[in-house]
Structure 1
Amino acid sequence: MSRLVRSTFIAALALTAAACTSDPVDKAAKARIFSPEDPPKVVASAAEKLPPEDVADNPRVARRILGMEAAEVTERLGPHTYKAKVDFEWTTKEAPPVRLSETRTLRAGPGGVSGDFHGQLDNSRDQGLEVMRVGGKVYARNRYSTFRQRLRDRGMAERTRAELTGALRDMDALFQGRMLLEPQGTITYEGRTAWRYQVKLGDKVDASAPKQLPALLEPKNGRDETTQRRLAFFEHRVPKSLDGEVLVDAATSVVLKTRLDGHLTVPADKTPEAADLRMSLESALTGIGQDPQLQPPEKFLPDADKPEGIADALDRFGIPRAKTGADAGTPGETDPEDEG
């Protein structure tokens, strides 16, 4: 390349760069790229004003308050302890009642959406789980197992925290959003002013424009009987009664206490047999503003790429691994090189 051509090329590049820097579209793009990162969605949601006195008259405010997740509650309220008990009783004419009771506990530390927490679920069938996040590190276990560190959490802790504290939201959805709140004035709870609402079963919600959801995948051999009953219940359930009370914090619009009793049925013409579900919920927030001083578990297993396999279990019990071509778990043929 001659000196003249090189000079012309450099001049063209300089003119192009100058044009880009003066282009308003380019300036706007650079401003977006180098602008401060937007706050997490939960933080933005926590800044939204939700007047608790509007709950009875504004369905949108009511659904937001009843469905508020634990991360937003912590952003609004600070550290606290949540405890709930949920009782289920399922009855049919052909079988004795099936009962299940759950106890859910969440201790939330300071720090809002990214703060420490310790969640625990236990039920009357001797099952349960625990999840902790302390200093950004996650630990989890089943009821009687040892904690295991979860370095690759992939949102498991966040989902568990939301599910543990979502009993009120789930009950409202189960009763098809028909939870009607009637104001009963204000009371004092945990030293805070709270709006008290009486809960009743409201009118059927207009579902003329349901959400378009994709069709369920059909198993190759058809759905099993248990799945058919479960889907029939959710499709044809009919709320019969719902009563209780809900206390909503006047300052933060967080639900502080709940007591609910509900009854749903499924008609016999919609399922193989008529069924009834009775459920109750009692929940309360305590220790508001008190840091639980959470600490990681004293003993825990390190994170693992995958669970220990069958071969590791055989080694643990002293069972020799099979040689190539032999059945697993049975002694293989002796290797000639090992003889003599």
Structure 2
Amino acid sequence: MTRFKKFAIAAAVALAAVGCQDPVDKAAKARIFSPEDPPKVVASAAEKLPPEDVASNPRVARRILSMDAAEVTERLGPHAYKATVSYEWAGAPGTVPVKLSETRTFRAGRGGVSGDFHGVLENSRDQGLEVMRVEGKVYARNRYGTFRERLRDRGMAERTRTELTGAIRDVDSLFRGRLHLAPQGTITYEGRTAWRYSVELGPEGDTGSAPAVLPSLLEPKNGRDDTTKRRLAFFENRTPKSLSGEVLVDAQTSVVLKVRLDGRITVPANDAGGAAELRMVLDSALSELGKDPELAPPQDFLPDVDKPQGIADALDRFGIPRNKPEGATTPGAASPADEPADDEGT
């Protein structure tokens, strides 16, 4: 080995040694090889939320009332949840009220945020959906359909879990965060000590958090349709008039165990329509605390497949004939010339 090569090797080793001492490199290596941070919901579940502070601390109240289903499972373990929500719209005197009721059921297994669960949503108009996750695989269907495995709907199961179990959060949002709790002592529920609160309509602006700053809505080129106008008018002009009920909060985990709410919202007459009133009633409760439902995947389900590319491909896939010019063939299909000749008689 020549003297020059020896010098080059020594220089390279010296530079590598100096680089290893660089604090920036050390910090980068520490980040790369450090253990993966746990999901945020796990950290949230470790936060202490004193249930006795719910009435006096709006931040704690909002935090408990809006607790996500994944965090509830982390705090409480396996459980069952059932909620019934009814809506009744009343318009001008003499009009027929519009009624709708829905039932939400949810069963959480072991494993916390990544565990198994099964949720069902049904309403009085014969609509609904069903979603389950078992051993990391997701299956979904509409009310009367067949389960289909969902391999590529990233986050669909988690979103459905959140929506199914967020009834009290939805009511609180519709009432502009004015759900106010007054302490009524403690009681025993499902063998656990729970703080009991009566519900009343609180003052405006006492939500415990800053209002969300949202971008302005885009205006359609040809203006908004009547349905959109009525929907926006409701959300912009709704005025909570009354709210009553009861909420039970677990003393150990700060999870809402049972809810009974009855409230009314009015909307004054405007360009989108006449005056109206909405009555909402919510009944929800947790049960089977700590009992593993031992969920199993559905016995009959369809595999996850690509969606047909366009109407023509959908017709071909389901064997529905479509009008084609005489002599034309379906793309990808064999033409008469490509078909094997009949060997009979040869």
TM-score (norm 2): 0.89
Question: What CA RMSD, in Å, does the superposition of the two structures yield over aligned residues?
Answer: 2.8
Give the 3 Å change call, closer, same or farther, for CA 37–186 of structure 1 in structure 2: same
Which deviates more, 281-290 or 6-15?
6-15
- Report Cα offsets for 1:223-277 as digits up to 9, x if no partner: 1111111111111111101000000001110000000001111112474311211
Does the aligned pair in 1 maintain the 2:104–2:120 contact within 8 Å?
yes
Does the aligned pair in 2 maintain the 1:236–1:270 contact within 8 Å?
no
Query: Which one-letter code corresponds to 2:243 in the other structure?
Result: L
Alignment partners' CA distance in 2, 1:219 and 1:3: 78
Please tell me whether residue 172 in structure 1 is matched to residue 179 in structure 2.
Answer: no
Alignment partners' CA distance in 1, 2:305 and 2:28: 43
Correspondence for 2:343:
none
* Superposed displacement of residue 10, structure 1: 2.8
Please tell me whether residue 259 in structure 1 is matched to residue 260 in structure 2.
Answer: yes
Query: Which one-letter code corresponds to 1:148 in the other structure?
Result: R
Alignment partners' CA distance in 2, 1:204 and 1:107: 35
- Report Cα offsets for 1:268-293 as digits up to 9, x if no partner: 24743112111010000010011111
Give the 3 Å change call, closer, same or farther, for CA 149–324 of structure 1 in structure 2: farther
Query: What pairs with 1:243-322 in structure 2 (closer than 5 Å)?
Result: 243-269=244-270, 271-307=272-308, 310-313=312-315, 316=318, 319=321, 322=324
Alignment partners' CA distance in 1, 2:316 and 2:210: 57
Please tell me whether residue 161 in structure 1 is matched to residue 156 in structure 2.
Answer: no
Which deviates more, 94-103 or 296-305?
94-103
Name the SS for the 2:232 alignment partner.
Answer: helix
Alignment partners' CA distance in 2, 1:200 and 1:278: 15
Please tell me whether residue 127 in structure 1 is matched to residue 127 in structure 2.
Answer: yes
Give the aligned length: 335
Correspondence for 1:212:
213
Does the aligned pair in 1 maintain the 2:244–2:262 contact within 8 Å?
yes
TM-score (norm 1): 0.91
Query: Which one-letter code corresponds to 1:21 in the other structure?
Result: C
* Superposed displacement of residue 46, structure 1: 0.5
- Report Cα offsets for 1:193-243 as digits up to 9, x if no partner: 100000000001169974332121222222111111111111111110100
Query: Which one-letter code corresponds to 1:186 in the other structure?
Result: T
- Report Cα offsets for 1:107-142 as digits up to 9, x if no partner: 111110011000000000000000000011000000
* Superposed displacement of residue 16, structure 1: 1.8
Question: Gaps (5+ residues) in structure 1?
Answer: 329-333
Alignment partners' CA distance in 2, 1:320 and 1:180: 61
Does the aligned pair in 2 maintain the 1:314–1:321 contact within 8 Å?
no
Query: Which one-letter code corresponds to 1:12 in the other structure?
Result: A
* Superposed displacement of residue 312, structure 1: 4.4
* Superposed displacement of residue 47, structure 1: 0.5
Question: Gaps (5+ residues) in structure 2?
Answer: 331-335, 341-346
